Chains A and B, each alone.
Chain A
Amino acid sequence: AQSVTQLDSHVSVSEGTPVLLRCNYSSSYSPSLFWYVQHPNKGLQLLLKYTSAATLVKGINGFEAEFKKSETSFHLTKPSAHMSDAAEYFCVVSTIMNTGFQKLVFGTGTRLLVSP
C-alpha cells in the first residue's frame, strides 16, 4: 500500500531563510505525489504535484519539490521564507483502491513556523 512519512512535525525558520520540509513515500509503482498547504482555519490548497514528468516540480508562491526515486523522497523547498508561509503542509500520495478508485493518502503534516 502507498504511504507517506513526513519526517518533522514542526519546522521553525526565520523570515528570509530557506525552507526544507521532508517527505518520504512508499509505493509499489510510480506514484503521483502532491504537496498541499493549509492556512489556519482554511481548506487545503494545492502547492504542486508530481505525475512522472519532470523530477523537479515548481509550484505556487516560490515552492518547489524534487522527486528522488532512489531515495523515495519528495522534499519541499523554498529559497526564502515569508511570514505568510506559516501554515500546515501535507505531503500526499495517490493510491489505487480495489475498486479502481484513486484515493489520496495524506501524511500527518508539518507545521511551519516563521519568525521575524
Chain B
Amino acid sequence: NAGVTQTPKFRILKIGQSMTLQCTQDMNHNYMYWYRQDPGMGLKLIYYSVGAGITDKGEVPNGYNVSRSTTEDFPLRLELAAPSQTSVYFCASSYGQGRAGDEQFFGPGTRLTVL
C-alpha cells in the first residue's frame, strides 16, 4: 500500500513550456485534490475531484487543468508555464467528506521551478 505517489519529484521548466504532474493513489479514495504551497504560506487548493469524471475548480485554478478518468489517477496539467507557477505541488486524497472531517492523505510533493 503505497498511499499517494507523485512524479516527478523535481522539475525545471522554461517559460511557455508544458508539463503534467502525475498523481496516483491506491486507497480507492473517491476524493482527490491538488494544492500548491508557496514559501511561507499555507496550501492553496487548485482543483479537486469527487470521483472519476468529475472535477471542479478550487481557489487558484488559473493556468492549470485536470482530468480524472480513473479512481486512482488525477494528473495536473500546466499548459504555458509562467514564473508565478514556481511552487511545491501536493496531491492528496480522502475517502469522503462531511462533518466527521475526513482525513486527507498527502503525497510527497513535486518541486517545480519555472525560469
Contact = CB atoms under 8 A, between A and B. Distances in A.
Contact of B97 (A41, A46, A50, A102): A102
Interface residues on B, range: 20 to 34
Nearest to B88: A41
B40 interface: yes
Interface string A19-55: 0000000000000111010000111111001111000
A101 B99 contact: no
A108 B40 contact: yes
Main secondary structure of the interface of B (DSSP, over half): loop
A103 B58 contact: yes
Interface residues of A, number: 28
B90 A101 contact: no
A9 B41 CA distance: 10
B50 interface: yes
Nearest to A9: B40
